[in-house]
Chain A
Amino acid sequence: MSSTVSTESSPTAGTVDRARPPRAGKRDVWLVFWIVPAFYTAFGVIFFALARVMPPPRPDVTVDQMAHFFHAHALTIKIGFGVLVLIVGGAGVSNGIVVYHMKRMTVGSVMAYAYMGSMSIGALPGCLLVAFSFLTAVYRPSRDPQILELLYDLGLLSYVGSLGCFSTAYFAFAVAILYDKNEIFPKWLAYVNIWQIVTEILTVAVFVSKAGPFAWNGCNSFWLGTAVFCFWLGCVIVFLMKANERESADEPPLD
């Protein structure tokens, strides 16, 4: 790929390429790339270990049990989501580098913008709303348990049930990969995006199910979706790295 791009930029580059060691891509792009695994690692630690949103607490509990959840985890929720609110820009950076490589594809920018727009909106219900709901819940511990119940439901429904924006982003990503002739990402990654859409569709029942496989903590709506998401994220990180490696350092900046 790098030799193809070099040849296009300069007719003599083919001979020059053989003489010099392979270029390691652009430094600024690498810098942005390393934010992706760092952000998602922090995201995982916050959501699993601190805020206790993953795995999600049960939807079929009493109001008092919900209030107890907030009282028991008040400190870790404050630390976890406090840090998240500070570093949430990492989500934008993670989406930004995908958009950057999508813009290097032969399909033009339209799908990249669709991905960027959808992911940006998706971050609100999929990440920030649960953080602010939980932070509000633990802000005044003496709050009425009925209000704590509302914040518990609002936070978890928005976190697990934020579906449409991500589905649109995955669809845009899949279409872009399939049309691309520069082979920035492998074609099968497009189909991994389709699996993501499948798991999003199967999560739609969280809004009517309070227990069982389709509840917000259920095996169908949460666990399988999370497993496929982790696989997707792993693939995206690996292939972003490969796309960086293949990008020649002297490739002209994008428009």
Chain B
Amino acid sequence: MANTEQTAADLDTTATSSVTTTEAQRRVHLPGDVHMWVMVLGDLIIFGAYFIMFMIFRAMHPQEFLTSEEHLNINIGVLNTLVMLASSWFIARSVQAARAEDHAQALRLTYLGGLCGVAFIAIKAYEWTTKIAQGYTISSNDFFMYYYMLTGVHVFHVSLGLLILGITVRELRNPRRRRASMVESGATYWHMVDLLWIVIFALLYVMR
């Protein structure tokens, strides 16, 4: 009996220590590589500076910004947001599949994420065309200048993200590669693009 108790206690201790080890590993695990995190954090600082400048100019000309904002189609903004969030969801699930070594599924999900990225660019191109046809161009006023520049540089990030997803696909298709860290790096970048869009959407379309 005592022996059994001892064994149970040992098992318990082993279980606890293994849980602790797993937790510790989880705590120290950095998804992707550190270089991609430098990219993401630096890019967020640069965009943060642009956002702050936008807020300053908005505070200087509140009426002009509010009136101009009303000319944007919030439905298209929402559609863009949903497409972006869906793409991030696909990419997050792709990382899970890659970690579980279900590479076929990871590949499918990466393709879906990329397709959403293409759809995002197409929607943005349609929106720009509509705005330009209505006479709201980059030189209309400060708001529209910020609108075209922020969305334009974000579309550049989406395009770069598609290139990075292409590298992820190449990684997943080659049985000799398939490094989880590469898939995680791609996903880290893609989620940054998503996060940036959420803030841009809030600043340009929603804020009153």
Q: How many residues of A contact B (CB 8 A)?
A: 24
Q: Which residues of B contact A208 (CB under 8 A)?
A: 138-139
Determine, out of B49-57, B69-77, B172-180, the stretch whose residues face the partner at the interface.
Answer: B49-57
Question: Which residues of B in the span 18-51 have a Cβ within 8 Å of any Cβ on A?
Answer: 33-36, 38-39, 42-43, 46, 49-50
B166 lies within 8 A of chain A by Cβ: no
B interface secondary structure, majority:
helix
The stretch of A9-17, A87-95, A195-203, A243-251 that contacts the partner chain: A195-203
Q: Does B127 contact A (CB under 8 A)?
A: no
Chain B residues contacting A214 (CB-CB under 8 Å) are 142, 145, 149
Q: Is A228 an interface residue (CB 8 A)?
A: yes
Q: B156 in the interface, Cβ–Cβ < 8 Å?
A: yes
Chain B residue with the shortest CB-CB distance to A187: B35
A234: Cβ under 8 A from any B Cβ: no
Complex: how many Å from CA A188 to CA B38? 6
Q: Given contacts A198-B43, A208-B139, A213-B57, are A191 and B50 in contact (CB under 8 A)?
A: no
Type the 1/0 row for A89-121, where 1 means its CB is closer than 8 Å to any CB of B. 000000000000000000000000000000000
A199: which B residues are within 8 A, CB to CB? 46
Bound Cα distance A220, B160 (Å):
21
Residues of A199-230 whose CB lies within 8 A of B:
199, 201-202, 204-205, 208-209, 212-214, 219-220, 224, 228
Those of A150-209 within 8 Å (CB) of chain B? 186-188, 190-192, 194-195, 197-199, 201-202, 204-205, 208-209
Q: Is B115 an interface residue (CB 8 A)?
A: no
Tell me if B153 and A202 are in contact (CB < 8 A).
yes
Measured CA separation A211–B149 after assembly (Å): 15
Out of B46, B139, B160, name the residue touching A209 (CB < 8 Å): B139
Q: How far is the CA of A219 from the CA of B50 in the complex (A)?
A: 9
Contact B33 A198 (CB under 8 A): no
Residues of chain A contacted by B145 (CB below 8 angstroms): 205, 209, 212-214
Once A208-B139, A220-B50, A224-B49 are accepted as A-B contacts, the answer to whether A202 and B35 lie under 8 Å apart by CB is: no
- Chain B interface bracket (under 10, 10 to 19, 20 to 34, 35 or more): 20 to 34
Smallest Cβ distance from B156 to chain A, in angstroms? Answer: 6
In the bound complex, how far is the Cα of B40 from the Cα of A192, in angstroms?
10
The residues of A that contact B138 with a CB separation of less than 8 Å are: 205, 208
B156 lies within 8 A of A201 (CB): yes
| Max count, chain B CB within 10 A of own CB: residue among A192, A204, A214, A228 | A214
Contacts of A195 in B (CB 8 A): 42-43, 46
Q: In the assembled complex, which residues on chain B have CB atoms less than 8 Å from the CB atom of A187?
A: 33, 35
A residues less than 8 Å from B139 (CB atoms): 208-209
Knowing A198-B156, A209-B145, say if A219 contacts B39 (CB, 8 Å).
no
Q: How far is the CB of A194 from chain B (nearest CB, A)?
A: 7
A residues less than 8 Å from B50 (CB atoms): 202, 220, 224
B179 CB to nearest chain A CB (Å):
14
Q: Indicate if the CB atoms of A201 and B152 lie closer than 8 Å.
A: yes
- Whether the pair A191, B42 counts as a contact (CB closer than 8 A) is yes
Distance A152 CA – B35 CA, assembled complex (angstroms)? 42
A-B contact pairs, 17 of them (CB 8 A): A188-B35, A190-B35, A192-B42, A194-B43, A195-B46, A198-B157, A199-B46, A201-B153, A212-B57, A212-B142, A213-B142, A214-B145, A219-B53, A220-B149, A224-B46, A224-B53, A228-B46
Q: A201-B152, A224-B46, A228-B46 provided; 6 other pairs, C-beta below 8 A?
A: A191-B36, A191-B42, A194-B43, A201-B156, A220-B149, A224-B50
